[in-house]
Every structure is written in structure tokens, then in C-alpha cells.
A and B are shown apart, each in its own frame.
Chain A
Amino acid sequence: MSNPSAKISDKWTLFFGSGLLALAVTWFFAYQGIHGHDHRPALSVLVGCLFWVSILIGMLMLTMITRVFDAGWAPIIRRSWEFMIGGLPVVLILGVLPLVFVPSLRHIVWHWTDASSLLPNGHTVGHDPILQAKSWFLNEKFFLARVALYIVFFAVITWALRHWSFLQDRERSASHTHRLHAISAAGIPLTAVLLTLLAFDCLMALTYHWFSTMYGVWFFALSIRLALAVTVILTYVLSRGGWLDGILNQAHRHVLGCLMLAFTVFWAYISFSQYFIIYSANIPEETFWYNIRELNPITGMKSDWWGVSLYLIFGFFFLPFLCLLFYRTKIIAGRLLTIAWVILVGGIFDLWFNAVPRQIVDKTAPEGFVVSPFLSGFLWLDLLAILGFGGIVLGLFLRSSAKAETIPVHDPRILESIHYHE
């Protein structure tokens, strides 16, 4: 192993340890929330976990897609994705798994799992005909089984993609490339189905009366956007004294910038279409989801979630979209880096927008409920959870980097990738 990477990989315990510490603090508050029957600190764990799950699922998809299409530019960057995706099952095990498998946490986060939970209309969840109609999917046994399946599947697919790719460093055989091609071809549709179900279970089912068939596609678009943003930042750092120093060139930035532009447009297309279809049909069983993200049900005025919505339109779509239209944004490292941070921050807002607002039963309110606000003391806990899971992911990334060559030196397309030009 070359010297710089050995030095970097020694630091993995630092990242991993501080990540665990930050996560422990988040979990402490989440457990405190159980006693006060407050679901919000547990949502911090969920938001922090899903932020990194979406990044890693995005990288998993990019790894498989570039394999299937034999992308000539990809190998030097794909190895970093392979180092990263090893953290995917770990993040799920430290975040979603306890939230779902500890009954008291499950009941306050996913209130459809608690039959005694009250609804704004005065009924309990146990007597809710809407839930009964959905119970073939939304029942606790199937829910637990699905979550277990996500973890097992992502553990297996990430292991397979890493194992044979790393083995190629030693065995120098093109047959591993063919094998990984086949694994990826099977893995893409399976991952697509499971990430859709994961988005349904972990986010859409937080408001279980609501439904959107585009939700999985939205989560996929968000995942790829965040994965590309992290890739741009990561490869930039690695090109400044890390293992991509002297290897990463303008054409690699250009291709990442083009993909960022494409998926910025795709995310906007999906997010807007979901809104537009619901807005056009104007059916109360669908529109309430957007109403609680716009209006304060007591005053009827715009709530702070309205501000978040506008931020998503202008800060998470128009700003990166208009900047990325220009060629120079895509090739000048500083500009592309800035846009990557804009997308990363916007992604946190998008997760907040999707995960946090919910109807909280309040009999004194005119419509029987209030909406959890955006601005609250828990925002710092969300950020702490993101940092905590981030430390764990980066720690595992550095640890993985000692297990194989930091670029796939015996990949058949390695020269094409190093000498990639526009």
C-alpha cells in the first residue's frame, strides 16, 4: 500500500469514534423523548440516518450503473464509492434498525404501529378504516421483516460489489469485471425496488394516510444528487494531497458536473410532478400532506414550512440549476465545490420537509391538530445526528481504503479513466 493512503487510513478511528460519540448523544435525547412522549428527538436519528442512507444508496446505484454501462471515466472514482458503500448496512443498523425494532420508539415515530394512538378526528389508529384497508402492507410483522430485508440485501450487494472489485487488484483478471457487470445488472432493479419500499416505510409511512406513487423516484433522485455532491467534495479533498492527487482532472469534474445538472433537473421534475398532480386533482386525502407543509392550521396563515418549501424551489433547484448550466461552473473546482455544498445543504432541507411535519392531536385547536414546527431546538440535534452518522461513514471509508488499492490498478479501463478527456 502506498504511503499517503496508509497515513490517511490510520485516522479512521478518530472519525469513527467522534461519530459514535455524537450519535450516542443523539440517541440519549431520543430515549429521553420516549418518557415525555415526544417523537421529535427520535426523528433526529431518522433524519441523520436517512441523510447518509440516501448518499450511500446513491453511490451504490452509481457504482452499479457505471459498471453496467462500462463507463470509461468512472473506475478511479468508483473505487472511492466502493470504499464508501461499505458503511450502508452499518448506518441502517445504528439508525433505522433500533428505531423500528424497539417498540416504544417505533410507536412514537410510526404512530400507525400504536393502536391506541389518537387521530385528529377523535378515533384511534386501531379503529381507523384507512389503516385497516392498508394493513396487508402496513402491519408490524411485515414492517419488521421488510426493514430486516433492507439491511440484509444492502449488506450482501455492497459486500459482493466490494469483494470482487478488491480481488481484482490481486488476481489481475478481467473475469471479475464481467462478474461485477452481471451482479450490477441484477442489483440495479433489486435496489430500485428496495429503495422505493425503504422510502415508503421510513418517510411516507410517517404520515400513513397519505400516498404518492412517485415517492420512491423522488428518493432515488435525491439520493443520486446527494451522492454526486459528496463525490465532488470527496474527490476534491482526495485530489489535494490524497490518493487522487495528480489523477483527477478537469474532464472528471466536467462529467460529475453534467450528472449533477441532470439529476438536479430530474429531482425538480419529480418533486414538481408530485405536487402538480395532487394540486390539479385537489382531493383532500392527498392535499392535506402539502397543506400541513404550507399553512398553520390554527391561524390559517403561512407557516415556517412555507419558507422551507420556497427554499427548496429557489435554493435547492434554481440556484444549482442556473449555475450548473454554465460550462465553467462544471470545470472550475472551486465553483463546482460550492454548488456541491449548496446541494448537500438543500438535501437536509428536503429531508426535513419530508420527515418532520406531522399532525399532532390537540383538542383545543379548531381542526383538532397542530403541526410540528420547522424552527425548533431540535434542529441542532438533527445536525448532530448528521455529523454523527457522517463520522461513522467517513471512518469506515478510511478503514476500507487500507483494504485495497486506492484506484483499481487492474481494472481493464483504468488507463481510459486516468486519461479521460472531454
Chain B
Amino acid sequence: MTERNERIYGVACTFRKVSDVYHAAEKVRDAGWKKWDVHTPFPIHGMDQAMGLPRSKVPRLTLLGGVTGFITGCLLTWYMNSYDYPLIVGGKPLWSPIYPFPVMYECTILFAAFGTFFGQFILNGLPRHHHPVFDLPQFARTSDDSFMIVLEATDEKFHLDESRNFLLSLGGQEITVIRD
């Protein structure tokens, strides 16, 4: 074993029922954990609240992208039609907020979509080709009929033996240490 493989990523345990993993998540949240995750085969309604997750920050990046796009559209049309190569088309002014509005509007949508797409990519930590939980044989079942809670070692509350016992007290099975 190399030095790298000795580092502990966290502790995992599995649950068999939705209600069990849901109530266990509430207890982990109430115990004050910040760096932990729940893996389920399907979305569980109310899990965000049970985990105490805040709302996603992606909409802010969407807004930022939209505003950037709008300004880009304004500058683009002004620079091309009024500054770099002034040209009167259809008797319209060289630049006004009206005739190039479709350009401004389309740029708003395009950049807002960029903000959303790349924003979620960055916030999700993507692209990423491997994750320590993939090493667990029981992880495959979380895309079938099993539920998993993982407490991560980077959390301030993490202590190997205490965290194991904590998961045991929540009713978790197959408690396993994940190595990085």
C-alpha cells in the first residue's frame, strides 16, 4: 500500500428503507455535520430539507451570465453598426436600444444558458473521472435498491471511531471506511 491509499476519505453505511435513510439524514444534519452526502437510486422528496442543504447557487450565475450577455449584445451592436463601420439600415438610427433588441435579447439568453451550464459544472466539481466511494462494492447498489450515507473526513466533527459508532446508532449497516 502506498502513502496515498492510507488517507481516509470518510465512513459509509447503507440503509434499506427510504424512511430510515431520511430520518438518519435528519439526525446527521442536527448533529451539525457539514461535509457529508446521501446517495439514493432516485430523488427523495424533502431530502434537501432533511439534509439541511441551502438552495443552489446556480441561479446567481445564470443572472450574472444574463446581465453579461445583455451588455455584450449592447456593446456588440453599438461597436459594429455605430462605431467601427457606421451604417444606416432601413432608416433606423446608427444605434438605439430598439432595432438591435433581438441581438441583445438572444445574447442574454445565450450567456444565461452558459452561466447555468458551466455554473453547475463548476459548483458540482466537474469534470471528475473518479470518486473514492466508487471503490466500495456496495456503492453500486445505491443505483438499484440501497441507500448510503457518507461522512467525510474533511468535516471538523470527523473522528474515525466516533463517526463509526454514530452511524451505528443511526441504524446504518455495512459500516465501511473509505480510503482515498
**Residues of A that sit less than 8 Å from B by CB:** 272, 276, 279-280, 282, 325, 327, 421
Contacts and interface: CB of A to CB of B under 8 A. Distances in A.
B55 A327 contact: yes
16 contacts: A272-B101, A276-B98, A276-B101, A276-B102, A279-B98, A279-B99, A280-B90, A280-B99, A282-B90, A282-B91, A325-B59, A325-B63, A327-B55, A327-B59, A421-B45, A421-B46
B55 to A, nearest CB: 6
Contacts of A279: 98-99
The 7 A-B residue pairs with the shortest CB-CB distance in the complex, in nearest-first order: A421-B45, A279-B98, A327-B55, A282-B91, A276-B101, A325-B63, A280-B90
Interface residues on B, range: 10 to 19
Main secondary structure, interface of B, reads loop
Nearest to B48: A422
Nearest to B102: A276
Contacts of A282: 90-91
Interface in B14-34: none
Contacts of A421: 45-46
A279 B46 CA distance: 50
A274 to B, nearest CB: 13
Interface in B63-113: 63, 90-91, 98-99, 101-102
A381 B101 CA distance: 38
A4 to B, nearest CB: 31
A325 B115 CA distance: 15
Nearest to B59: A327
A279 B101 CA distance: 12
A195 to B, nearest CB: 27
Contacts of A325: 59, 63
Contacts of B46: 421
Contacts of B59: 325, 327
A282 B101 CA distance: 16
Given A325-B59, A325-B63, A421-B46, 9 more contacts: A276-B98, A276-B101, A276-B102, A279-B98, A280-B90, A282-B90, A282-B91, A327-B59, A421-B45
Contacts of A276: 98, 101-102
Nearest to A269: B105
Contacts of B98: 276, 279
A282 B99 CA distance: 12
A26 to B, nearest CB: 38
